Amino acid sequence: MNPRIEDDIPPRRAARRASGFPWHLPVGLLLALAVLALPAALAWQGVPGGTALAEPNVFERESIEQEALDAFRRMITLWREELYFELYEEGWAASRERVSLESFAERMVELAWLPQGELDDKFLKPDFRHRTMVYIQARLAFQHKFDPTQRFEKDHSALLLKENGRWRIDLVQLVRSPYS
């Protein structure tokens, strides 16, 4: 008697094999869909590492906007007091790669204009875009370094990004802001 290989296969597998339908394809497709849906399901449940986060509620949004405003005020204060090395540390990682510390400090020292006085809350508005992205609309008063009688005001928009838990600003934009 000649044993055949098919005789050792359980009846269900033999039936699937006999039908000619590629059963491994639907199973693989279902597995792939489950893997793709996992990050969204984790984010919905509040587990970090998901690809999408729920929009913040009103109180979280106000808190995020207030954090960004406080960071912007701190950056303008550093600029007004001409603390350029500290101000450099408040820059985006991408802008710190574009501009070295020495170059940034030199360019800021060469600027003829400095922000003057405190920011007016009437003209200071946050524009929330994302948990890690807020635009700040502000009216900045500038004073000439060497002739204090020369002053002007300018509406300014700054994009703040939250990197490593801190709000940061574009350093190149700061260098150009009195003139742009």
DSSP characters over 106-126: HHHHH-SEEE-SPPPGGG-EE
Give pLDDT, residue 50: 46
Residue 114 vs residue 53, higher pLDDT: 114
Q: How many domains does the chain have?
A: 2
Angstrom distance (rounded) from CA 32 to CA 98:
40
pTM score above 0.85: no
Range of the domain at 168: 58-176
Residues 19 and 81 in one domain: no
pLDDT (tens digit per residue) in 38-75: 565 555 444 455 445 678 899 999 999 999 999 999 99
Mean pLDDT of the residues in the chain: 83
Q: Does residue 154 sit in the same domain as residue 121?
A: yes
What is the average per-residue pLDDT within 22-38?
A: 63
Higher pLDDT, 123 or 178: 123
Is there a domain that residue 157 lies in? yes
Secondary element (H or E) of residue 133: strand 133-144
